[in-house]
């Protein structure tokens, strides 16, 4: 069943000639003046610059991440007799990535350990660890597991705290 049809004059008779107010178009949230556009351009340039600097820093320090991953593998898999030589070799490769070949390649023994300690804010290698790195590679002496863990921890500290030639 349907409702009866409505008459032509329905509702309030006083509002018959009333015309509804039309709303204005929505106000744009985009900047309207040149100063806001300059500010947006400057902010965009600054953010791009910071992103470029962060990416460059991340890329230049990839050798640290790779060496830390290899160091973790060494700590798990190496025998105590070969751990010192393997850590020393890994530190030498990392130093060659961070510094020029002329600075690093000829170093060995006490000069090598002094170089490692000198390029950190505070010396990561204790005198016992320094002796191990200086002569342990050549003597192939076995070390106890606690000393091996301490050597790996000091090496990891050096990897992440040394100042490289890039300044990163």
Instruction: Kindly report, residue by residue over 3-49, the tens digit of the pLDDT.
Output: 777 666 666 777 767 778 889 999 888 888 899 999 999 999 999 99
The pLDDT confidence band at residue 94, using thresholds 50, 70 and 90, is: very high
Query: What is the sign of the dihedral through the CA atoms of 137, 141, 162 and 157?
Result: positive
Q: At what angle do helices 80-98 and 109-118 cross, to 10 degrees?
A: 60
| pLDDT, averaged across the chain | 86
pLDDT at 83: 86
Q: Are 91 and 64 in contact (CB under 8 A)?
A: no
Q: Is the pLDDT of residue 108 over 90?
A: no
Whole-angstrom distance, CA of residue 112 vs CA of residue 102: 13
Domain boundary assignment for the chain: 62-161
């Amino acid at each position: 069943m349907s409702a009866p049809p409505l008459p032509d004059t329905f509702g309030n008779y006083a509002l018959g000639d009333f015309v509804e107010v039309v709303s204005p178009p929505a106000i744009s949230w985009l900047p309207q003046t040149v100063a806001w556009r300059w500010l947006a351009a400057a902010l965009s340039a600054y953010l791009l610059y910071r992103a470029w600097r962060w990416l460059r820093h991340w890329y230049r320090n990839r050798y640290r991440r790779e060496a830390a991953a290899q160091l973790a593998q060494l700590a798990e898999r190496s025998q105590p007799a070969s751990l010192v030589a393997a850590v020393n070799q890994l530190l030498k490769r990392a130093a060659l990535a961070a510094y020029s070949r002329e600075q690093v390649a000829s170093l060995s023994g006490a000069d090598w350990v002094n170089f490692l300690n000198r390029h950190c804010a505070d010396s990561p290698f204790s005198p016992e660890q320094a002796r191990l790195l200086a002569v342990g590679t050549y003597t192939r002496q076995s070390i106890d597991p606690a000393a091996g863990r301490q050597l790996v921890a000091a090496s990891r500290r050096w990897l992440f705290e040394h100042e490289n030639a890039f300044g990163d």
